[in-house]
Structure 1
Amino acid sequence: MTPQLTTSADLMSPLHLFLQADVVVKAVMIGLLLASIWTWAIIFTHSIRLKKINRQTEGFEKDFWAASDIDAFHSRRGGESLPIAVVMSAALDEWRRSTKGVVVDRAGTRERLASRMNAAVATELDRLSDRLNILATVGSVAPFVGLFGTVWGIMRSFTAIAGANNTSLAVVAPGIAEALFATAIGLFAAIPAVIAYNRLTHGLDRLEARLGRFADRFHATLSRELEVEVASGH
């Protein structure tokens, strides 16, 4: 009795199901496994990077609002690759360009400041969301690719049944098991991709909101400074 159970378990093992599968089903399985590996690589790299950026952004923002001299702070930390540092640098660059003339257009300066900071936020979010579309693609396509492998495997099983003139479960079960294994791999690739895509997108949305709040607050600060500049020198 024990050898029979062991043999049945071996026949249903993932390795045996893969080795006994049709070449088309094997190609589907290999493709889905590679997609799963790629998906997990993206999940780990983006999760770690986003967590690091959030932690560093919190410290940067705290130091920025505590600084007494914005120009000195920018000279010291403006070259960092943090999204919030890029937004700050874009705002100060536009501020210097717009206020270096004899006559300062206050309304135009405010509009250009808002435009530059919004563009910087959008650019940084685009950079951080790079390759997330792969997760969405794998999450939406992988189940159908696995289903294709399943349909192909079942068709092959029915063809074998017709050729053998035998409809016993012993003849049908292995081929159907191989076919269903393709769907299982497809779901194995798709489910983590969908969950990770939603979580990472939510994280990026929160970062975007934080950068937007920083941009609005910095814009208000520069607007007040603009009033002082105009009142004192122009």
Structure 2
Amino acid sequence: MSQEINKKLFQDRKRTNILSSPEQKFISYLVPRIPNWISSDGLTAIGLFGSLMILGSFLLAEYVSRPLLLIGILGFFVQWFGDSLDGRIAFYRNKSRKWYGFALDIVMDWISTVMIGLGYVFYAPGDFKYTGFALVALYGWAMIISQLRYRITDKYTIDAGLLGPTEIRVIICVVLLAEVLFPFSINYLVILICVALFVINLVDTKNLLHLGDLKDWEEKKKKQVIADEREG
């Protein structure tokens, strides 16, 4: 039964991230247990609240006490819960709205990314604030690549190879924990994350352009075949 649920919930997308197998099993376990009064839009709102918790954790850490950054780890779990289950619950209840859900998901992801980056900007000292801007810009670049890949291939994927949103959440949670244990380490770890995202985006952009080039040649061949048939 659980395998049937898992197949139904994830038939619309291919996942390549490291945690895809345990994550999908956990989601398949949770979805049938979500109360009927919680809608897919309600889960989206829960995910957004998680992002607010992360933003708030940075503000509390800056103006009250650094250990309050740990609230952000809980916030990432709440965000994952809402973001991962909103679309899946719609599939499970046969109430999915493909383009509505797609548009809402992209907008909420961007708002959440800006909130997290803004939180770090408030928390970071001096010139390290610029890395918060860089982090948001680089993640935005990754989102654009994802949408363009979907447009070119008609296959939607949210992962960059072995890394997906879940892995990024886990990495940032580790960074928050490290900051509480080793103050100011977050500033250098965020720089490393930015460098890694930059390299990943460059590779993905190269692959994206290759896919675009292949599609251009396919369309040219189709047009040529149609033209030859008309002439024949």
Q: TM-score, normalised by structure 1?
A: 0.28
* Structure with bigger RCO (C-alpha 8 Å, 6+ apart): 1
Higher fraction of helix: 1
- Whose Rg is larger? 1
Q: TM-score, normalised by structure 2?
A: 0.28
